[in-house]
C-alpha cells in the first residue's frame, strides 16, 4: 500500500475487504504527481472526455476497472454493457461502498456525479436509464479508469486487505453482530448458524433447538489493526458467558455461548483467557463458553443481517467498546 491510515483514525473498509479510508491531501499529492495533465483535468476538475474516444469504451476483456488515481477497484467487466452513449457504461459498481455520489448542478442541469470513495476522483455520472437488475447507467470517463485484466498481476493498491475470520456465539446474533461492527479494524460481520448437523438450516429450524446449530456472528477483521484477542475480550464483555443454553430472555441451545476457532492459535488464546478469568474470580459461577473447531458457517436469512441497524431495535448485548 502506498499509504497507511493514521493510528488515531478509524480505518474504513468496504464489505468486499478493501480499505476505503479517504486519503489525505498529503497522501494524494504523490499519486497525482504521477498523472499527466488530461487525467488531472478529468479526475480533479470534473472534466469530461469526448464521446466515442475513450480507450476503454469497446473493451470486451474480463477483469476490473480501478481508479486511475488511487487504484481502488470501481467496476467489473461483468457489469459492463453497451449503452450507445459514447462512454463506458456499467449497471453496478464493483462494490457499493467504492463509489460515492453527489449532486452536480453545472451547466444548468441536475445530475448525479460519481466519484471514487477513497480519493474523491471524478469518474462520471449515474443515470436512471440502465438495464436490469439495477436500472442504473454509470457513465464513465475512460481516462478516470485503469483496466486490470484477469490473470494480470494486481498492484498493491488494488488488492483487498489481508483478513482473518473469527466466529462468536453469544445469544441472539443481532446484538453480537451489531457491536462487533463498531470495532476498529473489523471489516464485516454476518449473522448465521454453526456447529450443528442440519445442512442449510432456516431460522425456524434453528429455533426448534433440534438442528444443533448456535446463532453465530462471523467476524472478518484486519489483524494488522485489531487482534483476535481484542475481539475475544470484547465478546466476553458483550454477554454473560456463565449462562447455559440461554442469554438474557432468549432460552435454548441455539443461544449458547461459544467460540468456534479457525486455528490452534485461536483455540489456545481462548483457553488461556478463560483460564485467566476463572483464576481471577471474575465470575461467581463457572464460565460455560464452549470452545470448538469451526464447522460450516451457514449465512442467515437476509432479514437477520444488520438487523439492529435496519430496525433501530435494542438488544440485551452490552457495548464492549466503551
Residue 207 shares a structural domain with residue 276: yes
CATH number at residue 282: 3.30.1060.10
- How far apart are the two ends of the chain, measured CA to CA in Å? 31
Residue 118 shares a structural domain with residue 224: no
Query: Percentage helix, strand, coil, to 5, in the chain?
Result: 25, 25, 50
Q: Which residues of 212-239 are buried (b: 16+ CB within 10 A; e: fewer)?
A: bbbbbbbbbbbeebbebebbbebbbebb
Only one residue has cell 453497451, namely 82
Catalytic amino acids? 139, 172
Residue 124 shares a structural domain with residue 93: yes
Q: pLDDT tens digits for 44-83?
A: 999 999 999 999 999 999 999 999 999 999 999 999 999 9
Q: Which of 48, 38, 43 lies closest to 115, judged by CA?
A: 43
Residue 121 lies in a domain: yes
Residue 11 lies in a domain: no
**Considering Cα of 144, then 150, then 154, then 158, what sign does the dihedral take?**
positive
Residue 40 lies in a domain: yes
Task: Tell whether the model's pLDDT for residue 16 goes beyond 80.
Answer: yes
Residue 301 lies in a domain: yes
H/E element, 128? none
Residue-number span of the structural domain to which 118 is assigned: 25-158
Q: pLDDT tens digits for 222-267?
A: 999 999 999 999 999 999 999 999 998 899 999 999 999 999 999 9
Query: Which cell numbers hold the place of 207?
Result: 429455533
Angstrom distance (rounded) from CA 223 to CA 121: 29
Residue 190 shares a structural domain with residue 283: yes
Q: pLDDT tens digits for 72-113?
A: 999 999 999 999 999 999 999 999 999 999 998 887 888 999
Among candidate residues 140, 158, 176, the one where a domain is terminated: 158
H/E element, 283? none
Residue 151 lies in a domain: yes
Q: pLDDT tens digits for 107-160?
A: 788 899 999 999 999 999 999 999 999 999 999 999 999 999 999 999 999 999
Q: Which of 149, 214, 159 lies closest to 16, judged by CA?
A: 159
Among candidate residues 139, 158, 177, the one where a domain is terminated: 158
Cis ω before 133 (30° cut-off from 0): yes
CATH number at residue 98: 2.170.150.20
Angstrom distance (rounded) from CA 83 to CA 96: 21
Which residues does 87 contact at the CB level (< 8 Å), separation at least 6? 49, 51, 54, 57, 124, 139, 140, 141, 142
Mean pLDDT of the chain: 94
Angstrom distance (rounded) from CA 85 to CA 70: 27
Query: Which cell numbers hold the place of 311?
Result: 430496525
pLDDT at position 1 is 46
pLDDT at position 4 is 54
Residue 152 shares a structural domain with residue 197: no
Residue 272 lies in a domain: yes
Residue 37 shares a structural domain with residue 168: no
Residue 46 shares a structural domain with residue 122: yes
Residue 174 shares a structural domain with residue 209: yes
Residue 122 shares a structural domain with residue 188: no
Residues 304 and 191 sit within 8 Å (Cβ to Cβ): yes
Residues 123 and 141 sit within 8 Å (Cβ to Cβ): yes
Residue 185 shares a structural domain with residue 281: yes
Q: pLDDT tens digits for 283-311?
A: 999 999 999 999 999 999 999 999 999 99
Residue 302 shares a structural domain with residue 173: yes
> How many domains, the chain?
2
Among candidate residues 131, 158, 185, the one where a domain is terminated: 158
Residue 20 lies in a domain: no
Residue 34 shares a structural domain with residue 131: yes
pLDDT at position 7 is 47
Residue 55 lies in a domain: yes
Amino acid at each position: 500500500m502506498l499509504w497507511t491510515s493514521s493510528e488515531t483514525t478509524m480505518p474504513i473498509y468496504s464489505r468486499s475487504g478493501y480499505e476505503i479510508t479517504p486519503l489525505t491531501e498529503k497522501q494524494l499529492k504523490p499519486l497525482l504527481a504521477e498523472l499527466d495533465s488530461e487525467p488531472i483535468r478529468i479526475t480533479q476538475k470534473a472534466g469530461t472526455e469526448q464521446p466515442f474516444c475513450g480507450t476503454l469504451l469497446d473493451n470486451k476483456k474480463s477483469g476490473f476497472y480501478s481508479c486511475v488515481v488511487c487504484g481502488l477497484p470501481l467496476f467489473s467487466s461483468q457489469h459492463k454493457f453497451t449503452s450507445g452513449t459514447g462512454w463506458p457504461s456499467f449497471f453496478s459498481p464493483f462494490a457499493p461502498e467504492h463509489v460515492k455520489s453527489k449532486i452536480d448542478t453545472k451547466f444548468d442541469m441536475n445530475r448525479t456525479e460519481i466519484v471514487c470513495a477513497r480519493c474523491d476522483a471524478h469518474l462520471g455520472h449515474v443515470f436512471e436509464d440502465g438495464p436490469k437488475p439495477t436500472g442504473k447507467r454509470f457513465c464513465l470517463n475512460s481516462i478516470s479508469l485503469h483496466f486490470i485484466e484477469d490473470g494480470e498481476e494486481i498492484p498493491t493498491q488494488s488488492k483487498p486487505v489481508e483478513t482473518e475470520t473469527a466466529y462468536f456465539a453469544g445469544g441472539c446474533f443481532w446484538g453480537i453482530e451489531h457491536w462487533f461492527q463498531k470495532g476498529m479494524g473489523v471489516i464485516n460481520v454476518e449473522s448465521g448458524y454453526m456447529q450443528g448437523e442440519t445442512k442449510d438450516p432456516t431460522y425456524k429450524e434453528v429455533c426448534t433447538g433440534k438442528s444443533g446449530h448456535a446463532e453465530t456472528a462471523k467476524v472478518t477483521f484486519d489483524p494488522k489493526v485489531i487482534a483476535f484477542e481484542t475481539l475475544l475480550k470484547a465478546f466476553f464483555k458483550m454477554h454473560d458467558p456463565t449462562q447455559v443454553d440461554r442469554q438474557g430472555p432468549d432460552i435454548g441451545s441455539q443461544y449458547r455461548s461459544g467460540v468456534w476457532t479457525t486455528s490452534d492459535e485461536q483455540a489456545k488464546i481462548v483457553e488461556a483467557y478463560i483460564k485467566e478469568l476463572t483464576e481471577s474470580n471474575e465470575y461467581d459461577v463457572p464460565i460455560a463458553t464452549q470452545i470448538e473447531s469451526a464447522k460450516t458457517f451457514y449465512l442467515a436469512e437476509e432479514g437477520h443481517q444488520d438487523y439492529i441497524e435496519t430496525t433501530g431495535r435494542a438488544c440485551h448485548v452490552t457495548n464492549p467498546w466503551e
